[in-house]
Every structure is written in C-alpha cells, then in structure tokens.
C-alpha cells in the first residue's frame, strides 16, 4: 500500500534526523498516534502496516507499552489506548488544568453539555481535559486528545483570538475578541456545533468550550456564549 502525504513527510523527517533520535521511541510514539487516530481497536498487523514496521517489532513495542498501561488489549486480541495515558496527561499544564476544572464542572452542569479545555500545539488545537454534565439525560462525549486545525471550529478561533492581532488575520477574530466568544457549526465534525471563549494570561493561551448537536438548535446562542465567556474569566482569575 502507498504512503499518505503525512506518512511520507514523517518518514522524511525521521530520515533527516535519524542520527540524533531514538528509533525505538519514535516507533512507540507512532504506534500510540496510530491508535489515537483510528476509530476502533487495531490488530498487530494493522498497526504494522500503519507505521510501516515489521509485525515482530510492533509486538515488542506493544508489550512494553502494555506493561506501562499506555495500551490495553481487548478480549479479541486487538489493541487500544490504555488508562495510563490520562494519568500522564494530568501532569500536562497542571496549573491550568487545576484552575480550569471547577469552572468546567460548573459550565457542564449549567449547560448540560460537555465542557472542555483546549490548548494550541503548532497549527492545531488539542483538547487537554473534558468534563461531562452530571445531571444530563443525554449529551455528547468529547475525549481528551481530540485535535483539529486552529482556524477551524470555535475552540481554535478562540485560541487565535487569545493571541495578539496579526496582519492579514480573519476579520472574524476581531469579532471574537470584541464579544468574548466564538461559535462554529459543522466545521470540525458534521452535525456538531461548539461555542468557545479565549483564556489568556502572561503565560497561558487556551480556550474553554462546549459542544452540542446542531439539532435541536440552542434557543439562545448569545446567552450560551456569555456563559462560556464567564467560565473563561473564572479560569483566568484562578490561574497561578
């Protein structure tokens, strides 16, 4: 099977820096990335094809990752990401996550929507932590680690709005800065809408958001935006 453009780019980057990097660690990270990007657990053969490494090597990598609870094996012998990853993730931006959790919990319960915190990484927006409402009959789940382009979706636009204005940027960002929140519909995933607000300080750039189905439509989008904006201000007030 042929390589995708992303695979070819990664392969080129690995070739250029193979003398200064750990090949084994690189392969282990690529296995974790493949499991993250796939919608279902994967077999050893599927992973070997995905990362272009022999099955015996992938097997040894998986056994090591399994020992550290970074992957887990299903009853039918497939592999998926393990519970050790969220434990590691708790140490990422610990001060930001600690400041955000009370506001995210209140936001999720008040809106009966999943609330989440997003941070930038290069040209992508990455979900750092999520909180689901406690008393909702039905709501969307949104897992940590979800990523999408910065210029797509309300969380990404809110991140860009948290940064100083740049020449040639979208006029929409000025509007986000003026009112304090962004809205998007079906920009990241079809049928899903999100509302997000910037979180910014001298050391932090992030956004807080909620996600919901397009239908039934939110009766008062402005009120939802203001509630998310209020949560962002609560987080900024509690930042260390």
What's the structural domain count of the chain? 2
CATH number at residue 41: 1.10.10.10
Q: Indicate if 179 and 147 belong to the same structural domain.
A: yes
User: Are 97 and 119 within one domain?
Assistant: yes
Burial degree of 89 (CB within 10 A; 0-12, 13-18, 19+) = middle
Going by pLDDT thresholds of 50, 70 and 90, the confidence category of residue 15 is very low
**Tokens at residue 170, please?**
């979208």
pLDDT one-digit tens code per residue, 105-164: 999 999 999 999 999 888 889 888 889 988 766 666 777 778 888 888 999 999 999 988
**Mean predicted confidence (pLDDT) in 6-12:** 45
Q: Of residues 220 and 234, which shows the higher confidence score?
A: 234
- Which of 87, 118, 153 corresponds to the end of one domain? 87
Of 87, 114, 133, the residue that ends a domain is: 87
Residue 217 has a CB neighbour count (10 Å cut-off) of 11
Residues 186 and 101 in one domain: yes
Give pLDDT tens digits for 21-55.
888 898 998 998 898 888 789 999 999 999 999 99
Q: Are residues 82 and 129 in the same domain?
A: no
Distance of alpha carbon 209 from alpha carbon 114, whole angstroms: 8
| Under 8 Å between Cβ of 207 and 162 | yes
**pLDDT reported for residue 167:** 84
Q: Where are the alpha helices (DSSP H) in 75-141?
A: 84-89, 94-111
Check whether residue 75 and residue 112 sit in a common domain. no
8-state DSSP, 121: E
Q: At what angle do helices 44-51 and 23-37 cross, to 10 degrees?
A: 110
Task: Answer with the residue of higher pLDDT: 14 or 203.
Answer: 203
221 and 110 within one domain? yes
Task: Among 22, 56, 87, give the residue marking a domain's end.
Answer: 87
Banded model confidence at residue 8, pLDDT cuts 50, 70, 90:
very low
Query: Does residue 173 surpass a pLDDT of 70?
Result: yes
pLDDT, mean over the chain? 83
pLDDT band at 235 (very low <50, low <70, confident <90, very high): very high
Q: What range defines the domain where residue 62 resides?
A: 5-87
From CA 16, how far away is CA 156, in angstroms rounded?
Answer: 31
Instruction: Report DSSP state, residue 209.
Output: E
33 and 52 housed in the same domain: yes
Judge if 215 and 139 occupy the same domain. yes
């Amino acid at each position: 099977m042929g390589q995708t453009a992303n695979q070819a780019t990664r392969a080129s980057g690995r070739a250029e820096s193979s003398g200064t990097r750990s090949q084994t660690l690189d392969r282990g990270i690529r296995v974790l990335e493949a499991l993250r990007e796939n919608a279902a657990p994967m077999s050893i053969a599927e992973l070997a094809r995905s990362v272009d490494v022999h099955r015996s090597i992938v097997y040894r990598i998986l056994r090591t990752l399994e020992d550290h609870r970074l992957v887990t094996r299903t009853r039918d012998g497939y592999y998926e990401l393990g519970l050790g990853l969220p434990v590691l993730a708790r140490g990422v931006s610990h001060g930001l996550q600690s400041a955000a959790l009370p506001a995210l919990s209140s936001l999720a319960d008040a809106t009966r929507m999943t609330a989440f915190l997003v941070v930038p990484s290069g040209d992508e927006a990455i979900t750092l932590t999520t909180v689901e409402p406690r008393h909702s009959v039905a709501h969307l789940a949104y897992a940590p680690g979800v990523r999408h382009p910065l210029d797509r979706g309300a969380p990404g636009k809110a991140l860009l709005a948290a940064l100083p204005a740049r020449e040639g940027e979208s006029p929409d960002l000025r509007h986000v800065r003026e009112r304090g929140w962004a809205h998007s519909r079906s920009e990241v995933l079809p049928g899903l809408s999100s509302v997000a607000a910037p979180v910014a300080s001298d050391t932090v750039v992030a956004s807080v958001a909620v996600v919901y189905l397009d239908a039934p439509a939110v009766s008062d989008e402005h009120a939802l935006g203001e509630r998310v904006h209020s949560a962002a201000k609560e987080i900024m007030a509690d930042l260390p």
